[in-house]
Amino acid sequence: MDNQTRKNWHRQDILAAIRKCKGSLAALSVEHGLASGTLANALVKPWPKGELIIALALGKTPQEIWPERYFDEQGQVKKWPVFKKNHAERVREKGEQ
């Protein structure tokens, strides 16, 4: 993987591509049952669900749009951290027992 293919798409390039096919990022958010500003989060920080929605709308994979989020400097797939259960999940499980 060379340096050019390792670069994330510029935020404005993503927005321009979405405008061409979906009208706006807000419209794409609403189309997927999200609040109008929700998908904007994926443009500034990793959010796999949002990245996938955007990528599919553009006919791409999230890895093509945000390679820096998915691959290290050697082109190897990055390991995603495993998050512990949040408080709400623990409370819900206690209530089911």
pLDDT digits (tens, 9 = 90+) for 50-97: 999 999 999 999 999 999 998 888 888 887 665 555 655 666 676 655
Classify residue 39 by burial, with Cβ atoms within 10 Å: 0-12, 13-18, 19+.
buried
Virtual CA dihedral for 9, 57, 18, 66, nearest 10 degrees? -10
Tokens (6 digits) for 84: 């512990």
Average pLDDT, the chain: 86
Percent of the chain at pLDDT exceeding 70: 76
Region 20-47 average pLDDT:
96
Confidence check: pLDDT of 34 > 90: yes
The domain total for the chain is 1
CA atoms of 1 and 7, how far apart (whole Å): 10
Q: Which CATH number do you get for residue 27?
A: 1.10.260.40
Q: Which range marks the domain in which residue 56 is found?
A: 3-96
Residues 11-28, mean pLDDT to the nearest whole number: 97
pTM (predicted TM-score): 0.75
Contact 53, 16 (CB under 8 A): no
Whether residue 8 contacts residue 65, with contact meaning beta carbons closer than 8 Å, is answered with yes
